[in-house]
A and B are shown apart, each in its own frame.
Chain A
Amino acid sequence: MTATAVRTATAVPGGPSRLRRIGALAGAETRLLLRNRTAVVNSVLSPLLLVALVPLFGSGDAPLGQTLLVSATAFTLVFLTYYNLVVTYVARREALVLQRMRTGELTDGEVLAATAVPTLLVTAVQIAVVAVGVVVLGEWRAPVDPVLPVLAVLLGAVLMVVLATLSSVWTRTPESAQVTTLPVVLGATALSGVFFPLVALPEALATGARLLPLTPVVELVQLGLTGRTWQGEAVAGAELWWAALVPLAVAAAWVVLAGAASLRWFRWAPRR
């Protein structure tokens, strides 16, 4: 007699919600981060040091507080969020943690999201610290549009997560992340508009720079805080959101592209 298997695998109602599952793993990851003093110090200090250097470059005719916030957002997203996540994903993969986390009920997306949570928390704290600092320095100006900078940071954070998952594909060890992250850390940052306004570049080059991943985030934060476009034009209201369309679209396109490439190539276990 051959018994045929009956389908008995059914999702159990009342299981843990997606948020509870992510929360459980994110809690453990946060604990791990806090137990690694060097990582904490490095990730908190390096972007802050960079921000501290900003006044030395001068802020041109823009108010100092807003320049500080724009640079803080860009530096934090690249040096902390992106770099830290590449290192974390690679380290967890090589220690076979990612593969083990996939053997339970967590979905792949939940594993990656939960692993990113501590880094994203530090990112938020970091930007908040600079904002408080700006207020303390008496340099705070009300943003022209308060929604846009927040949206830009959220979009930027998502973008850094998918860029990190993608970069981990060709990063063999946590140490080699120092090299594999250079295109984003150096290239994209240098041409993001943080160090110098992109209008200073020939038009073709400026257009190219605006298509890099970090540039739209910088443009959006600046647009929301100061109401100035990348060319320095002052805009407000509907015009401001009209000007935001191109950078929003560029950032969204990067999320989609890097996300799709990660889906295709992300490695959960070390190469055999």
Chain B
Amino acid sequence: MHPTPTLAPVPAPVAAPVVEVTDLRRRYGSFEAVRGISFEVRPGEVLALLGVNGAGKTSALEVLEGLAPASGGSVRVLGADPRRERAAVRPHLGVLLQASGLPGDLTVAETVRTWAGTLTAPRPVADALAQVDLTGRADVRVRSLSGGERRRLDLALALLGRPRVLVLDEPTTGLDPESRRAVWRLVRGLVDDGAAVVLTTHHLEEAEQLADRIAIMRAGTVVVAGTREEIAETQPATISFRLDPGTPQPPVPATVEVAAPGPRVEWHTRDLQPVLAELLAWAARTGVQLHGLQARAASLEQAFLAVADGADLG
């Protein structure tokens, strides 16, 4: 046994990453859909790959899911290769594909029972149905389910084996706001229990609500990654106000980029607090009214739109 030094502070234990992606590439013929992306996900953490359609999100996930080989780089799930060591990874991996792919002529209960029959340690079927609020629909054929119900069934199957790593490809696309929130609550609960989640989405709100870290993808690369705040900080804050006609213009601080000169003034700056202080001090000194004054930090949406417009951030 190693003697433990009593005085040294014990650092908070950081769980080892259960998903490690290093310089992942994926090529179809001459087209490279994923061009060298890297990320890690630890237990109890949600990573969202955010991007418009065609950004390479699904192509990247298919490698994590073990459904496709990487053309370059490496992917480890729970320390193993998800494709070559599928048998070792799969009992701990829950996968939600973009397309449901369930036969329409089986009932909900039959579908869950069938899937449970193929798993190492499935939850009881009744629990799985209750978890996604489908108990009352157990005897309905899958083809008669609404889009939201079908997505919840997909999710029930993805969760059925009590996975430690969950890969969700657009989990709430096509769902109404209420079902979407229900899915978010469910995923949050799993994460609180220590699951690691990688999901793709093109809904900003979903990334904001669910993800601890976000990677914005464009054309096969991660353009910017970090927490919501870190990503928003890559964009300047905005100050806007209106001046009465004939009033003098405030002096423009050096860090400000004037987006609109007036009468409706809009400033962009990466130094929100000092710029705002300076502006307010000027207004107090000169007695000028700043009508409709607004000051706001950049949002994730701004960063996302900037990426969509082709800006290189971070």
- Residue ranges of A at the interface with B (Cβ–Cβ < 8 Å): 1, 3-12, 14-16, 20-21, 23-25, 27-28, 31-32, 35-36, 95-107, 268, 272
**Once the chains are docked, how many angstroms separate the CA of A99 from the CA of B97?**
9
Q: Is the CB of A6 within 8 A of B16?
A: yes
CB distance B100 to A4 under 8 Å? no
- Residues on A with beta carbons closer than 8 Å to the beta carbon of B103: 28, 32, 95, 97
Of B86, B97, B116, B117, the residue contacting A100 (CB under 8 A) is B97
For residue B65, CB closer than 8 A to chain A, the reply is yes
Q: Are A5 and B20 in contact (CB under 8 A)?
A: yes
Summarize A's interface: helix, strand, loop or mixed. loop
**Size of interface on B: residues with Cβ below 8 Å to A:** 47
- Is chain B's binding surface mostly helix, strand, loop or mixed? loop
Q: Are B101 and A105 interface neighbours, CB within 8 A?
A: no
* Cα of A25 to Cα of B16 in the assembled complex, Å: 35
Cross-chain contact A8 with B18 (CB below 8 angstroms): yes
- As a 0/1 sequence over residues 77 to 100 of chain B, the CB contacts with chain A under 8 angstroms (1 = contact) are 111100001111111100101011
Residues of the B chain whose Cβ atoms lie less than 8 Å from the Cβ of A16: 117-120
Number of A-B pairs whose CB atoms are under 8 Å? Answer: 121
User: Do A31 and B18 touch (CB < 8 A)?
Assistant: no
The answer to whether A103 and B65 touch (CB under 8 A), given A3-B15, A96-B101, is yes
- Which chain B positions have C-beta within 8 A of A28? 103, 106, 110-111, 114
Residues of B within 8 A of A11 (CB): 87-88, 91
CA separation between A16 and B122, bound complex, in Å? Answer: 10
Contact A107 B15 (CB under 8 A): no
A7 to B78, CA, bound (A): 6
Question: Which of the residues B65, B79, B113, B118 comes within 8 Å of A8, measured between beta carbons?
Answer: B79
Which residues from A are CB-within-8-Å of B80?
7, 9
A99 to B117, CA, bound (A): 18
CA distance A24 to B115 in the complex (A): 7
* B30 nearest CB across to chain A (Å): 15
- Chain B residues in 8 Å Cβ range of A35: 105
